[in-house]
Homo-oligomer: A and B are copies of this chain.
Amino acid sequence: MHEETVKQWDRDNAGEKHIAPEGIECPKHVAIVGLGLIGGSLARRLRESGCHVSAWNHRDHPYANARAAGIDCKDTLEELVREDPDVLVLCNPLMAMPEVLGTIKPLINPDKTTLTDVGSVKAPVRAQVREVGLLDCYVGAHPMAGNERSGWVAADPSLFDDALWAVTFGPTTQYRRVVQIAGMITRGVRNTMIMLDDETHDREASLISHMPHVVSTALINEMSNDPNNAIASALSAGSWRDMTRVALTDPDRTRAMVVENSVNVEELLHRMIDRLSEIADALHEGDDTEIKRFFAEGQPYRDYKAQLNGTRLSDSTETVFRSIRIDPEHWREQLLKSAQHGEYIVRFTSGHRLIAEQRPNIRAK
């Protein structure tokens, strides 16, 4: 059985000439749709690694500079797709996705080209890819890179310095596509990655980003409506500034992000409401035990952050790398478990084996 599935994998990868025994390399030709902050930075980063990068943007104003940076800019999206790139990366906004996918669908050669994207919410993209029937050649991706700027003018390959990517799979995702995208990320962009399903990605993204954005917005709403807000803002210091900084970024962008992930955000808001109700009740009742419990509950996270800081400040630290043999039948469970254990994938050394770095974990008390 094991033998057979390995053979299956080998059959799947028969056309992948660039899978060398010394490790999975970056695909030779990556095509990028959209030369904004992320697409532009990614294109320049991949060029730095010697990859052939072609691109199309809905307006051609970045083309002169992009061409000077060695990027092969195409006049039409059709032209970009017809060249059968190894990987086609959708860096366009989510709202342009139906139109872009509609254009790609009749032209893409799904045997030759793997489709991926860089959106920060994964399930809606997969749904749209499913809609046009391109699921079999699709792998989701979300690089933890970005800043508050936008457009080609802000594009900078260093945006990807030390970035981690979340790469997402569904039940029908082909393993060879995942390995190919891993090659692009680890060799081409020189980043690390974790692998997981879209649902887990979107739930955890709502915990660390989308829900906190809503909470921060609720704080500035309270301030805006406070009759004594001149006094409140006079008294405000670092804690207020930190907690409200994200509410100052473009509210339309935040709203779009929250709405894309609304089910998870709603669930986490209810969890926050429960937590805040419990501590409000404890304060009301003067329940010292419960109040102490509330302030102690997050200690595992404080300890984890202290450990990270200690590692950063130490002169000499040890990093544990694990070499993992991938079982071609259970790769999804295996890779998800690796992510859940706090491992970052550093490189695929072959189609069957990868190296992962063990990162510090939040440990329950």
Contact = CB atoms under 8 A, between A and B. Distances in A.
Contact of A243 (B205, B232, B242, B271): B242
Contact of A225 (B194, B209, B252, B297): B297
A237 B214 contact: no
A231 interface: yes
Nearest to A148: B238
Interface string A286-300: 100001101111111
Interface stretch (A110-118, A153-161, A181-189, A260-268): A260-268
A231 to B, nearest CB: 5
Given A242-B245, A272-B276, A207 B222 contact: yes
Interface in A228-255: 228-240, 242-248, 251-252, 254-255
Q: At the interface, is chain A mostly helix, strand, loop or mixed?
A: helix
Chain B CB within 10 Å, residue with most, of A194, A265, A279: A279
Contacts of A296: 251
A82 interface: no
Interface stretch (A91-99, A125-133, A337-345): A337-345
Given A246-B242, A340-B231, A222 B271 contact: yes
Given A243-B242, A276-B273, A255 B291 contact: yes
A218 B164 contact: no
A266 B287 CA distance: 13
B342 A218 contact: no
A5 interface: no
Interface stretch (A9-17, A22-30, A100-108, A356-364): A356-364
A18 interface: no
Contacts of A164: 234-235
Given A204-B228, A228-B200, A342 B234 contact: yes
Contacts of A205: 235
A298 B224 contact: yes
Nearest to A304: B233
A283 B258 contact: yes
A217 interface: yes
A213 interface: yes
A272 to B, nearest CB: 6
Given A284-B266, A339-B234, A275 B218 contact: yes
A79 interface: no
Contacts of A61: none
A269 B258 contact: no
A286 B94 CA distance: 18
A146 to B, nearest CB: 8
A108 to B, nearest CB: 29
A279 B223 contact: no
A233 B205 CA distance: 9
A207 B232 contact: yes
Interface of A: 142, 144, 146, 164, 166, 194, 196, 200-201, 203-205, 207-209, 212-240, 242-248, 251-252, 254-255, 258-259, 262, 265-266, 268-273, 275-277, 279-280, 283-284, 286, 291-292, 294-302, 304-305, 339-342, 344, 359, 361-362, 364
Q: Which 4 A/B pairs are nearest by Cβ-Cβ distance?
A: A220-B298, A230-B342, A208-B236, A269-B280
11 contacts: A144-B235, A194-B234, A208-B223, A214-B279, A216-B243, A217-B295, A230-B342, A242-B246, A248-B305, A273-B273, A273-B276
